[in-house]
């Protein structure tokens, strides 16, 4: 019998009337981890405590907006034209956020925040780079819960099982896939 990793059966829980989405929790955890790593590195390098939090206050909201804009722009036909609902642009409950847009908008906001605070961008960016990688890694676990953005079919022992309802067209006959959980456009990586 081939070995594989099962996917979680649920990506949504309720705490009373409050819905808790695994994707959002992973993203939030990734943001907290990324800021924590960047802040520690910046202070260890001689920077002032609190600078990373000040920069993050600008960079995080802008990166979330940029991530969504990236998806809207790269999937234009999904949101615009006849028969499409424009409100879909702001409905992020589908989990579609694009890292390239987050990186671009977050970097621009970080540059602005550094200029505003009179802090050099290079040391902030150097401290933030590993934090971004760790934060992205944790945030991408949300795609495991939602069974999105997996790789090609695989029979390796670490392959992840994807439920039939979440399989991309043309791959319905495969049950296990490479657990890439990347941050590209929806579908397989």
CA distance 38 to 7: 31
160 and 126 in one domain? no
Q: How far apart are the first and last CA of the chain?
A: 27
Residue-wise pLDDT tens digits, 12-51: 899 999 999 888 898 899 999 999 999 999 999 999 999 9
Helix ranges, 45-98 (H): 51-74, 76-79
Question: Domain of 172?
Answer: 147-189
Residue 157 makes CB contacts below 8 A (sequence gap 6+) with 2, 3, 4
159 and 112 in one domain? no
Residue-wise pLDDT tens digits, 98-132: 888 999 999 999 999 999 999 999 999 999 999 99
25 and 102 in one domain? yes
The residue among 109, 127, 142 that closes a domain is 142
132 and 88 in one domain? yes
121, 111 Cβ separation under 8 angstroms: yes
42 and 82 in one domain? yes
> What is the number of structural domains in the chain?
2
Residue 24: inside a domain, yes or no?
A: yes
Burial class (CB in 10 A: 0-12, 13-18, 19+), 185: middle
CA distance 109 to 105: 6
164 and 131 in one domain? no
123 and 38 in one domain? yes
């Amino acid at each position: 019998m081939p070995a594989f990793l099962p996917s979680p059966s649920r990506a949504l829980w309720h705490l009373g009337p409050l819905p808790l989405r695994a994707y959002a929790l992973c993203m939030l955890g990734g943001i907290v981890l990324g800021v924590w790593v960047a802040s520690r590195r910046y202070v260890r390098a001689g920077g002032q405590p609190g600078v990373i939090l000040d920069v993050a206050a600008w960079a995080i909201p802008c990166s979330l907006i940029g991530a969504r804009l990236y998806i809207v722009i790269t999937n234009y036909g999904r949101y615009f034209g006849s028969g499409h609902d424009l409100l879909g642009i702001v409905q992020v409950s589908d989990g579609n956020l694009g890292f390239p847009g987050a990186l671009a908008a977050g970097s621009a906001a970080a540059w602005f925040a550094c200029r505003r605070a009179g802090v050099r961008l290079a040391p902030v960016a150097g401290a933030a780079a590993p934090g971004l990688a760790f934060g992205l890694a944790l945030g991408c676990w949300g795609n495991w819960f939602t069974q999105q953005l997996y790789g090609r079919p695989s029979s390796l022992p670490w392959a992840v099982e994807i439920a039939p309802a979440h399989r991309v067209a043309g791959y319905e006959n495969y049950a296990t896939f490479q657990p890439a959980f990347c941050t590209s456009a929806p579908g397989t990586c």
